[in-house]
Structure 1
Amino acid sequence: MPDRLRSLDVARGIAALAVVFWHWQHFFMDVNPLGHDNNLAAFNAASQPLYSWFSGFYDHGYRAVMFFFVLSGFVFFWLYSDSISQRRCSLQKFAVLRFARLYPLHLVTLLIVALLQWYCREHWESDFAYSFNDGYHFGLHLIGISYWGFESGYSYNAPTWSVSLELGLYAIFFLVAYLGHTTWRKTLGIAAIALLLERLHLGGRWAEPVGAFFLGGLTYYGSMQYLKRRTNRSDAVLYVATLLVWVGFSITGKFVFRTPVFPLTILTLIVTEIRFSKLFQPLAWIGDITYSTYLLHFPLQLVFVITAIELGFDSGIFYHPASLLIYLAILIPGSWLTFHYFERPLQTWLRGALMSKPISRPAERPTAPLADVSAT
């Protein structure tokens, strides 16, 4: 296994952009001070900008969230399962690593969204997209449990609901790893039970994420075994199988295809990177900006809404391709700058300040998950 899997970095970056496209419909929701076509009953999805190019993202971008959970499981089993079970990674170290990576940008974007939603209410008596923007829900976001079941609905920087769930997944994972050595059998059992509960519509909002996370752990164990035994013929079979599952998933969306599609995709990307080691290097920056892209895209939408109203436009302007291109031209470079000049320096400083012993950089070499990112 390579020290860093740039192919997975790229994949999670593209998945984050899929969520960005899926959320373009925010501009046409009922809770919207823009007026005009601000009702999803009148919303024309096929008229969204450059729809013929990005229809898959516009129509199915929400599915990327499950990919994030599966990828997170893969990465955390890879990075932490043995070190936690062998007591080489304490709860303090694990918590500090996660806090330093996730919380600073989460806090800043929460404050930005709170300010911008207040502006919308003060000037147009309407929030944008999400309406439960009160002190109680602010508190839930502040402590990272905005989607644990205590909320009345989506609020503030609502796409961070997946980050909220992922924090819970981290806690479950740490407990499972700490209580005993993780094995593929234990991981399979947890994933199977969680996914069964999801199929039976039991387990609430937690069943599918837990199942996806531990399915990612099972993907890690399966990948390690496959890589020990792989041949050119088996790689060819893997590519064909992954393609067929993706076709079945795209056509039907059925559980029988939905379950293996992301594990097979992860393994296929790893094999591809091993075969073509430099293929993904020029695109690795896409993975770097995943978390900032995910957390910044809704605040930027608020800025666009306020600007559009001040300039006298209604929501129809967001059907125009220029609006999307300008939005992406701000979001992507802005995310890159945020990662390099805010996220990374502050992460390094916090880890040094909060840990009794310095944390070596190599511990973070492999790809980090979205909730080093997450999403709706």
Structure 2
Amino acid sequence: MNTQTTYLASKPHYEILDGLRGVAAIMVIIFHLFETHSLGNHLIQIINHGYLAVDFFFMLSGFVIGYAYDDRWDKMTLGTFFKRRIIRLHPMVIMGSIVGAALFYFQQSSCFPQIEHTSVGALLLIMLLGCTLLPLPLKWDVRGWTEMHPLNGPAWSLYYEYIANILYALFIRRFNKIALTVLVVIAACFTVYRSLTAPMGDMVGGWALNWEQQYVGFVRLMYPFFGGLLLSRLGWLIRIKKRAFWYCALIIIVILSIPRLGGEEHYWMNGLYESFCIIFIFPIIVSMGAGGKVTGKYSSRICKFLGDISYPIYITHYPLIYIYTAWVCNNNATITEGIPYMILVLVGAIALAYASLKLYDEPIRRRLTERFLKRMK
């Protein structure tokens, strides 16, 4: 996941895309909260397809990268590009790892039996490794969920985001539209194949350092990210003069909330739905968002706020989810019993994200930009 703030002052933001990223990020939190009560059974999950927000983030990222950088390579080096991306993304990666470590021992429960056997020294080492975003092998798992970033699970998608940026800068930025289209079509075929043949008929996966999960992660990355890049280059925008943000936000909420399709006997139906959303609906939403305009001050403020907190809230919220999961496990709590605490977690995640943004992320990025990119501004 990334944002449009690239320190390229001559290019305006797509305000609606900023806002939509925030909407999707909040839907991820709600999805994770309800997921705690589903015991891993997506057939009964409320906000059932919330995990598709990651695929939507990848598409937004590809579109914004193309918009921000495609026409600047004649005056920008690879080093400058990577500095910009690291400055934009990595401070909050570090914050997410620190928050994960700070809240780690508050998550002890029957769901996470390994926590009580994890020493402070091991925790600090894993936190430092998490700050680098390097994937950790399964033997370093201190939670039992096979996460390659066990203190802050969602960091796995930033790992793939970095890979996409590297592929773009080294190779794919040089592709013409035909070559890029061929790549995107091939990636779409992999998306359909994976979604139709997955054991549970979904695109879930990518967070573990093993061959199967890495394959799923790359499948989830390639079409959305480079499909977004292709959409940016083609300039296929759907022009909506009024309420574009609200229409797009509603579509995202509906897509991510649709109940599981097909049941246990017809997993392919759910897979078909997910591949259709990723390949067709997400590009339409991005096109509508990029082609639309924010006409009112109220909508503009909402888009700005949601855009500002979208990345911080995504990368820092999950340690709070771990705590909520531990509480549910320790108390065998139902959804009804958990609703007040869900609201508390959601409000706390927003507050944590906003504080991280204003007190840490923005000041750090300004200083790093002044030091390493001053000549480029």
Give the TM-score, by structure 1 length.
Answer: 0.70
Which residue matches 2:103?
116
Spell out, residue by residue over 1:228-260, the C-alpha distance to the aligned partner (whole angstroms, 9 max, x if none): xx799xxx9xx99x98xx88x957615345311
Equivalent-residue separation in structure 2 for 1:352 and 1:200 (angstroms): 46
Alignment check: 8 A CA contact 2:152 2:319 kept: yes
Alignment check: 8 A CA contact 2:83 2:372 kept: yes
Measured after TM superposition, the shift of residue 3 of structure 1 is 1.9
Equivalent-residue separation in structure 2 for 1:150 and 1:81 (angstroms): 41
Alignment check: 8 A CA contact 1:120 1:126 kept: no
Match of 1:298 among 318, 342, 346: 318
Which residue matches 2:300?
281
Equivalent-residue separation in structure 1 for 2:138 and 2:184 (angstroms): 22
Q: Does 1:163 align with 2:158?
A: yes
Match of 2:17, as an amino acid? Answer: L
Alignment check: 8 A CA contact 1:70 1:214 kept: yes
Spell out, residue by residue over 1:286-340, the C-alpha distance to the aligned partner (whole angstroms, 9 max, x if none): 110011111221122345567x59xx97251764321122222222133222212
| Matched residue SS, 1:4 | coil
Residue ranges of structure 1 left out of the alignment (5+ in a row): 30-38, 47-54, 361-376
| Matched residue SS, 1:214 | helix
Equivalent-residue separation in structure 2 for 1:147 and 1:210 (angstroms): 22
Spell out, residue by residue over 1:332-372, the C-alpha distance to the aligned partner (whole angstroms, 9 max, x if none): 133222212211111111122234x4342xxxxxxxxxxxx
Structure with higher Rg: it is: 1
Q: Does 1:15 align with 2:10?
A: no
Which residue matches 1:346?
364
Measured after TM superposition, the shift of residue 270 of structure 1 is 2.7
Alignment check: 8 A CA contact 2:31 2:51 kept: yes
Alignment check: 8 A CA contact 1:22 1:61 kept: yes
Equivalent-residue separation in structure 1 for 2:221 and 2:354 (angstroms): 28
Measured after TM superposition, the shift of residue 67 of structure 1 is 0.4
| Matched residue SS, 2:188 | helix
Alignment check: 8 A CA contact 1:69 1:209 kept: yes
Match of 1:270, as an amino acid? Answer: A
Query: How many residue pairs end up in the alignment?
Result: 318
Measured after TM superposition, the shift of residue 166 of structure 1 is 0.5
Residue ranges of structure 2 left out of the alignment (5+ in a row): 1-9, 195-211, 262-268
Equivalent-residue separation in structure 2 for 1:16 and 1:231 (angstroms): 24
Deviates more, 1:154-163 or 1:315-324: 315-324
Equivalent-residue separation in structure 2 for 1:17 and 1:316 (angstroms): 23
Structure 1 residue runs of 4 or more that deviate by more than 6 Å after TM superposition? 122-125, 133-136, 147-152
Which residue matches 2:199?
none
CA gap 1:189/1:176 in 2 versus in 1, 3 angstroms: same
CA gap 1:125/1:191 in 2 versus in 1, 3 angstroms: closer
| Matched residue SS, 2:48 | helix
CA gap 1:344/1:301 in 2 versus in 1, 3 angstroms: same
Which residue matches 1:368?
none
Which residue matches 1:63?
52
Which residue matches 1:107?
94
What are the residue-to-residue correspondences of 1:142-153 with 2, within 5 Å?
A: 142-146=131-135, 153=146
Equivalent-residue separation in structure 2 for 1:350 and 1:2 (angstroms): 20
Match of 1:215 among 227, 230, 234: 227
RMSD value, Cα: 4.2
Alignment check: 8 A CA contact 1:147 1:164 kept: no
Alignment check: 8 A CA contact 1:7 1:280 kept: no
Percent identity over the alignment?
20
Alignment check: 8 A CA contact 1:317 1:323 kept: no
Match of 1:271 among 291, 295, 312: 291
Match of 1:282, as an amino acid? Answer: R
| Matched residue SS, 1:299 | helix
Measured after TM superposition, the shift of residue 148 of structure 1 is 9.7
